[in-house]
Amino acid sequence: MKFGYARTSSRDQNLDLQIDGLKNAGCNEIIKEQKSAIKDRPELEKLLSILREGDVFIVWKLDRLGRSLSDLIRLLNILKQKKVEFVSIKDKIDTSTPAGRFFFNIFASLSEYERELIVERTNAGLLAARTRGRIGGRKPGMTQDAKNKAAAAKHLYCEKKLPVNEIANTLGIGKSTLYRYLRYMNVEIGL
Question: Which secondary structure element, helix H or strand E, spans residue 125, and what is its range?
Answer: helix 98-131
DSSP 88: E
Q: How are strands ordered across the β-sheet holding 56-59?
A: 29-34, 2-8, 56-59, 85-88, 93-94
What b/e string do you get for 55-74 counting C-beta neighbours within 10 Å, with b at 16 or more? bbbbbbebebbbeeeeebbe
Provide the Cα torsion 19, 20, 24, 30; round to 10°: 20
HEC string of 18-75?
A: HHHHHHHCCCCEEEEEECCCCCCCHHHHHHHHHCCCCCEEEECCHHHCCCCHHHHHHH
Catalytic residue among 9, 70, 88, 176: 9
Active site residue 9: yes
Active site residues: 9
